[in-house]
Copies of this chain bind each other. A is one copy, B any other.
Amino acid sequence: MTEIISSSQNSRVKYLNKLYRSRTRRKEGVFVLEGKRLIEAALAGGADFLEVFLTPAFFKAAENKDLISNLKKCSEVILIEKKLLEKTASTVNPQGIIAVVNEALFKGGEFFSAADKILLLDRIQDPGNMGTMIRTAAGAGFDGIIALKGSVDIYNQKVIRATMGAIFSIPIWQKLSKEDFLKEIKNSTINYELAAADLDAENYYFEHEYSSKLILMIGNEANGLDKELLEKADSRIKIPLSGDIESLNAAQAAAVIAFEISAQAIKSIS
């Protein structure tokens, strides 16, 4: 590992660059992580590392010794010039380290058997919203996320950063179509309550008693939840709004309801 890549024409660098396009990423089934903190979180979360690119300065720094030794156990570690790494990265300061990680794929029975409380996201567009909802769902004790087709790619750099590492803490099934989701639910042996966040619901979110097997459905920022999903819902709930405020940001609404569900579960135990 004495060689330090310095040319943008190097085949590994060219490959890494291509992974910043979502189409290539999907085809390869991998995603890219930038910065020490995220990569530590990925390691702790048991992510499957393929390649790690480091600057010589990052490699030499005493405080990175443990991380590098752990990464070497599960991944190829490649040295690359600082300028080249920064040119490739999407963040202004990738902190000297970029990793390529296999997508964690969760599907079908395997996904449902491990998930009691699922957050379903219907065509969420904003990467910050998507990332923060992943973080919040994991924090509220949800154990699965379904991001329906039409939502922003969860492996988008902005999404990953907004999760603050939580993307490794919760199984996520993305790019599932609405039709396939409804089939999966119909065929599942688990009888989930489908709860829809809906501005026109009759009941307030805190008046409703949520089932222990639950799928909370949150809709698109501008248009709310898909009509068919709304029709299939077992329960509809709304958040009471004051004054002339017509709606909340989707991620804010998700947080309010997810933590009410969490609070009900905690109260029922104690």
Contact = CB atoms under 8 A, between A and B. Distances in A.
Contact of A245 (B135, B247, B249, B256): B135
A255 interface: yes
A139 interface: yes
A39 interface: no
Contact of A243 (B169, B239, B242, B259): B169
A118 to B, nearest CB: 14
B252 A132 contact: yes
A126 B170 CA distance: 25
Given A249-B135, A255-B248, A255-B255, A204 B266 contact: yes
Given A240-B266, A263-B206, A266-B240, A166 B245 contact: yes
B252 A136 contact: yes
Contacts of A204: 263, 266
A125 to B, nearest CB: 14
Interface size class of A (residues with CB under 8 A): 35 or more
A170 B244 CA distance: 10
User: In this complex, which of A139, A240, A241, A248 has the most chain B Cβ atoms within 10 angstroms of its Cβ?
Assistant: A139
Given A128-B128, A252-B136, A252-B255, A262 B242 contact: yes
A35 interface: no
Contacts of A166: 245
A141 interface: yes
A132 B136 CA distance: 16
24 contacts: A45-B244, A128-B128, A132-B249, A135-B248, A135-B249, A135-B252, A136-B249, A138-B242, A138-B243, A139-B242, A141-B242, A141-B243, A169-B243, A169-B244, A169-B245, A204-B263, A206-B263, A239-B259, A242-B262, A248-B255, A251-B251, A251-B252, A252-B255, A255-B256
Given A135-B248, A135-B252, 19 more contacts: A44-B244, A45-B244, A132-B249, A132-B252, A135-B245, A136-B249, A136-B252, A139-B239, A139-B245, A139-B248, A141-B243, A164-B247, A164-B249, A170-B243, A240-B266, A242-B262, A252-B252, A255-B256, A256-B256
